[in-house]
Chain A
């Protein structure tokens, strides 16, 4: 089959690789009909996530038709499914608690060692996202082996197009969980850093959860326009002092909740970010945490901080004093996709949520390397790339 593979920093190629097979009883093989490049794929593309090996198949946002099932799968060939990017067994303590992205059993034992050393506990398995999260071949391919296919895949009823539901695999539930983690209630003012797909879906979700005012922060005019289209007020940090603006836009209180949808590759010309950039380049495991630092400074006393942005390493000059002295609540984590997928599918079916506005480019799988370059280098115009194998 053809698949998009990682070779080194900013070097991805479409290669011919062996077709996947059923390996474990609960596996299914999916023929991919649509897959997307995620903003977090750019962290792999930029080489800032450890544990990548040349030849790794990327992609964790995908959907398709079931073509083969193991004896333990509950799927049947021919079904259309969206596959969550988190691989979850459904049986361990964490899956039973609904914390699917903390599954104890999906990361192979051999690849658990790295995160056990780096994070204190082994993280769960993810599709196409480095050997730290299992080294699973990803979905930017013609076929994918889906483990625990009786737990993860969301069966899609006929009548809904691929592009309406594809983002149930990651970014829509991630934006939703970001807003849920911010514990948004009616009347709240919410600030969202980053108007990439997750930030935009967080804006959309915050509005649905009753936020009075959502302020979106970015520097790309097109992305800010998309946020405005979802009902947000916007701040362009290239022309405005963000902290000052947020204080004034929230009556001097500060936002009730803040959402960092930027993650480990924060932009912005500031001393902390310049230092972080140097440290990240020399490979000492540093994340560029400028957006999160700002969010902690901006949020009101006793406010809520939600972090859907991906971090992988360490940050210093971190405003721990603000976190403690202001009495903040911090919630974060990979998305528990399976916990909210049914609810979100229903909202899509009823027309309450539309995700197709985000798609800027539709390419074939063969064009995927161009998609990575464009999504990375022209983030203003390239808001979301959907690939068709």
Chain B
């Protein structure tokens, strides 16, 4: 199911205020009828707030009652789907789909283009493990391949042994006009620290969305050119600079 088709669980409550309660708070409880001028003066703040809320409500995107469009869910204006953040990216690689698949399916070589992954491990229970560099330090990722269609799709989901809860999917299709292969990847994850954690990671260029598109671009470089572009003038990693 497309995540975009789900309603967000954090809807805004911008309903009318309880004016009776306001009046009570305004201190006219002694039975005297307030003069019109005083009433107006007393109500002005409430009217202002109501107008501001109404104005804000007009500016807020209205998600209900809109038929879904053709865009993938990850292009939606909202970043969060339930407790998950979904991000993704497509790139076109000028190579046959089988060649892209063969390179992609070799999970031991993922660290070649996924610079935040290292120490690939085939675990006895059939799951796969890596060490992942995150903005908050290193974490162990353990995942199992949950779907595989030869030459077309591969999906993985983290297991209970993983320190990062996430799932991802990569799909391949032939690009139009013999331009090679479109590779589409997306990841859904529960960000440490919630949505705030997601934005912090994104600001440091370390959100799965930013990293994912950089990894796809590196994979594209490797397949199309045989190398990953670098501005470094020296082979030693210590001498390199971004």
Instruction: Tell me if chain B binds chain A.
Output: yes
- Separation of A136 and B180 alpha carbons in the complex (Å): 29
Q: CB distance A92 to B205 under 8 Å?
A: no
CB distance from A30 to the nearest CB of B (A): 12
Chain B residues with CB under 8 Å of A20's CB are 233-234
- Separation of A18 and B230 alpha carbons in the complex (Å): 16
Chain B residues with CB under 8 Å of A113's CB are 205, 210
Q: List which A117-174 residues lie within 8 A (CB) of chain B.
A: 122, 125, 131, 134-137, 145, 147-148
Q: CB distance A108 to B230 under 8 Å?
A: yes
Q: CB distance B231 to A111 under 8 Å?
A: yes
CB distance from B77 to the nearest CB of A (A): 18
- Separation of A246 and B241 alpha carbons in the complex (Å): 50
Q: CB distance B92 to A147 under 8 Å?
A: no
Q: Chain B interface residue count: which class?
A: 20 to 34
Inter-chain contact total with CB atoms closer than 8 Å:
86
Q: Does B70 contact A (CB under 8 A)?
A: no
Q: CB distance A137 to B233 under 8 Å?
A: yes
Q: List which B194-242 residues lie within 8 A (CB) of chain A.
A: 205, 210, 214, 217-218, 220-221, 224-235, 239, 241-242
User: Contact check: which of B218, B226, B229 meets A125 at CB < 8 Å?
Assistant: B229
Chain A residues with CB under 8 Å of B132's CB are none
- Separation of A26 and B94 alpha carbons in the complex (Å): 19
Q: CB distance B217 to A23 under 8 Å?
A: no
Q: CB distance B239 to A109 under 8 Å?
A: no
Q: CB distance A21 to B229 under 8 Å?
A: no
- Separation of A47 and B233 alpha carbons in the complex (Å): 24
Q: CB distance A105 to B220 under 8 Å?
A: yes
Chain A residues with CB under 8 Å of B227's CB are 24-26, 72
Chain A residues with CB under 8 Å of B229's CB are 24, 89, 105-109, 125, 134, 147
Q: CB distance A21 to B234 under 8 Å?
A: yes
* Interface bits B140-163 vs A (CB < 8 Å: 1, else 0): 000000000000000000000000
Q: CB distance B233 to A21 under 8 Å?
A: yes
16 extra A-B contacts, CB within 8 A, seeds A18-B234, A21-B233, A21-B234: A18-B233, A23-B230, A23-B234, A26-B227, A72-B226, A89-B224, A89-B229, A90-B225, A105-B221, A105-B225, A106-B229, A108-B229, A111-B231, A111-B242, A131-B242, A134-B229
Q: Which 10 A-B pairs have the closest CB atoms?
A: A20-B233, A24-B227, A135-B231, A91-B224, A89-B225, A109-B214, A108-B229, A105-B221, A109-B217, A136-B231
Residues of chain A touching chain B, judged by Cβ–Cβ distance below 8 Å, are 18, 20-26, 72, 89-93, 96, 104-113, 122, 125, 131, 134-137, 145, 147-148
Could you name 26 residue pairs across A and B whose Cβ atoms are closer than 8 Å? A21-B234, A23-B232, A24-B229, A25-B227, A26-B227, A72-B226, A89-B225, A91-B225, A92-B220, A92-B225, A104-B224, A105-B221, A105-B224, A108-B229, A109-B214, A109-B218, A109-B228, A109-B229, A110-B214, A113-B205, A122-B217, A125-B231, A131-B231, A136-B231, A137-B231, A137-B233
